[in-house]
Structure formats: structure tokens, C-alpha cells
Amino acid sequence: MPKLDDVAIARALQELPGWQRQGETLVRDFKFKNFREAMTFVNRVAELAEERRHHPDITIRYNRVQLALSTHEAGGITERDVELARAIDALVAQSS
């Protein structure tokens, strides 16, 4: 899968509130009430990632979770990353 160009990434980010581009990665930070809620979220993201066979880098700090999406074999952001970001946003919306 080819990397997205800068215009395509900027367009995708307009539809992905909370996500930012950091170099060749899409990044979003999440904050929860406590560690347990953060871990529940991480486990749900893990299920999505396994279904799609596309795995984010996950950083957990107590009630904060950072997700970083990049397609390593393409060397940057691809449509797979954008699709996973959308799925994660849908997961968050379902939880609200």
C-alpha cells in the first residue's frame, strides 16, 4: 500500500478530530477517568487492530493513552492508518 501524500493526509486529518500528524505518523492522545478505563480502551483497540491486521504503537501512562499509527512497510502514513483511526474514533463514539 503506497504512502499518502501531504495533501491526502491533510484532507484525512480534517475528518479525524483529535488526530495529529507527527512526521510519518498519525497520533492521538486519550484521557480516561482511571487506569482501568484506559486499559479497557486499549483492549478494545487491540481487538480492532487484530481484526484489521494493522497494529498501532500504544503508550500507556496511568489514565492516558497515546496511539500512533504508521504503516512501517510503506515508511509512513497510508490509507490503512486513516481507516484504523476512523475505526478507533467510532469505538470512542460508541463508548460515550
Catalytic residue IDs: 50, 54-55, 72-73, 81
3-class secondary structure, 76: strand
- For 6-71, give the DSSP string: HHHHHHHHHTSTT-EEETTEEEEEEE-SSHHHHHHHHHHHHHHHHHHT---EEEEETTEEEEEE-B
